[in-house]
Structure 1
Amino acid sequence: MKLSKIIGAIDAEAVFFKDDCEIVHAYTGDLLSMVMKNAKSGSIWITVQNHLNIIAVAAMSGIKAIVLCEDMNFSNDVIEKAKEEGICLLKAKDDAYTVSGKIYTLGIR
Structure 2
Amino acid sequence: MKLDDAAAHLEALGNPTRLKIYRTLIRAGAAGLPVGRLQDKLKIAPSTLSHHIKALVVVGLVTQIRDATTLVCHANYAVMQGLVDFLVAECCADAEGKDSKTAA
Give TM-score, length-normalised by structure 1.
Answer: 0.31
Instruction: Give the number of the structure whose residues are more often strand, by fraction.
Output: 1
Could you tell me the TM-score, scaled by structure 2's length?
Answer: 0.32
